[in-house]
Amino acid sequence: MTCKCKPIYAKRDTEAQGSHYTKHVCRMYGEELHDKSEIAAELAHRDIEIERLKSGIKEVWKSLDATGRRMCEQGVRERDDGERVFGCAVMLKMLLKDQP
C-alpha cells in the first residue's frame, strides 16, 4: 500500500519515554504484534479512545455554569501544604492543547 500522506511521526527519544516505551515493546513482542498493519490498528484504537475522552472533557466544560467556569479559571495555586493544585481550566487546556 502506497500512502501519500503528510508525515505525522517524529523521531522520538525512547530513553526519555522510559517505561512507557519498554512496556509497549515487551507487549508487542509478547503478543507477536510485528506487522505494521496490526500496529496501525492498535494506534487507531488508541486514537479513537483519546478522541472520545477529549470529547467528554469538552462536554463537561460546556455544561459548567458561569460560577463553575470562574472557579475553574483560578489556574495553578498552592495549597497550605505546598502541593500545587491546578484549576480545571488549566487542566482542560493542557488536555486539549492540540484541539482547535
**Integer Cα distance of 42 and 95 in angstroms:** 21
Would you say the pTM of this structure is higher than 0.85?
no
- 84 - beta bridge partners? 78
Q: Give a yes or no: residue 30 inside a domain.
A: yes
pLDDT recorded at residue 22: 92
- Domain range for 31 is 15-53
Confidence of residue 100 (pLDDT cuts 50, 70, 90): very low
pLDDT band at 84 (very low <50, low <70, confident <90, very high): low
Say whether both 25 and 48 belong to one domain: yes
- Asked if residue 37 and residue 68 are part of one domain, the reply reads no
Domain total of the chain = 2
* Pairwise pLDDT comparison (76 vs 11), residue with the higher score: 11
What is the pLDDT, as a whole number, of residue 83? 63
Based on the domain organization, do 40 and 20 belong to the same domain?
yes
- In-domain check, residue 92: yes
